[in-house]
Amino acid sequence: MTEHHVIDQNPTAPRPAEHPGTTPGRGVVPDFAAPPADRPRRRYAVAGTGHRAGMYVEALLGDHADVGEIVAWLDPNPARIDYYDARVGHALGTSGPAGLPRYLPADLERLIDEQSVDAVIITSLDRTHAELVDRTLRAGADAVVEKPLTTDAAGCRLVTKAVADTGRDVIMTFNYRYAPRNSTLRQVIADGAVGEVTSVHFEWMLDTMHGADYFRRWHREKTNSGGLLVHKASHHFDLVNWWIDDVPVRVYASGGLRFYGDANAAALGMGPRPERGTGTTGDPFALDLRADPRLEALYLRAEQHDGYRRDQDPFAPGVTIEDNMSVVVDYARGAVLTYSLNAHSPWEGYRVSINGTRGRAELCVVERGHLEGNHLLDPSATPEDGVSDAIRPTEERLIVQKHFQRAQEVTIPDGIGGHGGGDAILLMDIFRRDLRTASDCLGRAAGYLDGVRAVAVGAAANQSLLTRQPVDVEDLHLGVDLTEHRTDGSVAQGPHSRA
């Protein structure tokens, strides 16, 4: 059996060397004015210092250090804080860690007050997002939230009420919107190339490297993540809501755990399984945390403080999320979405078909054509050099075909950063949005309403899995009538100044 060595992904990685573009395409990166020389930097706290925090920490230590600074940490695990505090110290040129103040989750309000925090970057467990947003806004700061906004309808109600009561800003970090392949599809639809959208088919494949990773970590428990229909598919449902500029009103779902988990391991004849990946060799489903210094520091050396294991066997008992899901979504203006997600595919990527009254648009993305040898956990975050597949090459291709005409390929401009070239552009919009010199005609910046719309589909789908019945979104009582709001323009143009 081929031995697989898995390494962590760099969340803001550049394009691979063989990519034809070396600079972003025209119109991909918005124009921003320089910050006024006398304007103080915004003060950020980071709540949750796991892997996902790295993208924001590095941004504030690098490209966006002139407009923002990290002033405090919030996490119950001191080892993970140590890792990032050392990164800040290194960036500041100190001989050791920066020594930034650190707080426990119960002390969020005190952190915001004592450190005069303008905004809290929330990258903690999904189930904690809504509570942290609520407390952050009520304590007088804005929130920057990793997807998903929350895991269920109750969390949506908590967030929508906090926004209504305080008027503070909530920025959703839907980085997939900024990938040029996705924003180009948005432009094609907005230009009317396919006419009025009648249906969307969206198929997403996670391979057995990336897909298995959701079954190794805390996401494997539905109470933590809402399952892949919320944690992962929030990206996908947001894309559809944004692409077609419409609001979901009815959802039906079917799915289950068909590959991972202990029962499926027995059915597949796997035999005894290792309890964890670290120290295991020759198993393509094992993740050895020692193979990557970042994972080792953030998780293996942090276990002594909370017992959390990042490298659990995906076939171990305790998996309560699904790995095969299908969803049908009715939209307010009449379009229908058929969506599927598979978390144990031999290749990774997605296919989208948009049918309209004038024609059809098709986007095909192959992020990894096969698995063989050493691989990154997430090929969308960092495209892999040297991985070739003659039958299924890594590619992104957008085709539009109008009725009674030949198909035409639409050029996708180059992006910058990981996740299809969108991460670095997203970070500009997070930290410099008030410095934009013009509005974004694509409406890529996302706010709390966009987060609610995405969670609405996943939460309704989870309910449908239980009842085996369709679920009307209005029956979730999300705290806001989504049909009264368009999918764009829901974000305030500039951040509040601290009161």
Same domain, residue pair 203 and 142? no
Q: Which of 141, 158, 175 is the last residue of a domain?
A: 175
Same domain, residue pair 31 and 128? yes
User: How many CA atoms lie less than 13 Å away from 214 in the CB half-sphere?
Assistant: 30
pTM over 0.75: yes
What pLDDT, on the 0 to 100 scale, is given for residue 372? 80
H helices present in 23-126, as ranges: 53-61, 78-92, 108-114
Same domain, residue pair 249 and 290? no
Chain-centre distance for alpha carbon 475: 26
**Residue 162 within a domain:** yes
Q: Which of 175, 191, 222 is the last residue of a domain?
A: 175
**Residue 497 within a domain:** no
User: How many CA atoms lie less than 13 Å away from 172 in the CB half-sphere?
Assistant: 31
**Residue 467 within a domain:** no
Same domain, residue pair 299 and 399? no
Chain-centre distance for alpha carbon 290: 25
What pLDDT, on the 0 to 100 scale, is given for residue 7? 40
Domain count, the chain: 3
Longest Cα–Cα distance in the chain: 68
Query: Closest Cα to residue 343, out of 173, 211, 255?
Result: 211
Provide the 10 A C-beta neighbour count for residue 83. Answer: 23
- The SS3 of residue 471 is strand
Please name every residue paired with 330 in a beta bridge, in sequence order, or none if there are none.
Answer: 250, 336
Q: Which residues of the chain fall short of a pLDDT of 50?
A: 1-22, 487-499
Same domain, residue pair 135 and 201? no
**Residue 437 within a domain:** no
Please report, in angstroms and rounded to a whole number, the separation of the first and last CA atoms in the chain.
Answer: 60
What pLDDT, on the 0 to 100 scale, is given for residue 29? 81
**Residue 315 within a domain:** no
Same domain, residue pair 99 and 32? yes
Determine the Cα–Cα distance for residues 128 and 284; give it in Å rounded to an integer. Answer: 32
List C-alpha distances in Å: 369 to 340, 391, 443.
19, 8, 32
What pLDDT, on the 0 to 100 scale, is given for residue 491? 31
List C-alpha distances in Å: 233 to 30, 70, 151, 340, 476.
27, 30, 11, 10, 18
**Residue 235 within a domain:** yes
Determine the Cα–Cα distance for residues 1 and 119; give it in Å rounded to an integer. Answer: 49
Please name every residue paired with 431 in a beta bridge, in sequence order, or none if there are none.
Answer: none
- The SS3 of residue 359 is strand
The enclosing domain of 454 has a CATH number of: 3.30.360.10
Say which amino acid occupies 360.
R
Same domain, residue pair 231 and 350? yes
List C-alpha distances in Å: 383 to 141, 175, 367.
36, 16, 7
What pLDDT, on the 0 to 100 scale, is given for residue 81? 98
What pLDDT, on the 0 to 100 scale, is given for residue 30? 83
Q: What letter would DSSP give residue 324?
A: E
**Residue 495 within a domain:** no
Q: Kindly compute the dihedral angle of the four CA atoms of residues 247, 251, 256, 258, in this order, to the nearest 10 degrees.
A: -60
Same domain, residue pair 104 and 211? no
Q: Supply the range of the domain harboring residue 365.
A: 176-256+320-418+450-462
Same domain, residue pair 127 and 91? yes
Please name every residue paired with 342 in a beta bridge, in sequence order, or none if there are none.
Answer: 205, 324
- The SS3 of residue 336 is strand
**Residue 278 within a domain:** yes
Q: Which of 118, 147, 175 is the last residue of a domain?
A: 175
Same domain, residue pair 133 and 158? yes
Same domain, residue pair 369 and 225? yes
Written as one string, the DSSP assignment of 110-177 is: HHHHHTT-SEEEE-S-GGGHHHHHHHHHHTT-EEEEPSPS-SSHHHHHHHHHHHHHH---EEE--GGG
List C-alpha distances in Å: 430 to 309, 402, 492.
31, 37, 12
What pLDDT, on the 0 to 100 scale, is given for residue 142? 98
Give the list of residues 6+ apart from residue 386 with CB closer than 8 angstroms, or none: none
Same domain, residue pair 162 and 111? yes
Give the list of residues 6+ apart from residue 243 with CB closer than 8 angstroms, or none: 182, 185, 186, 189, 200, 354
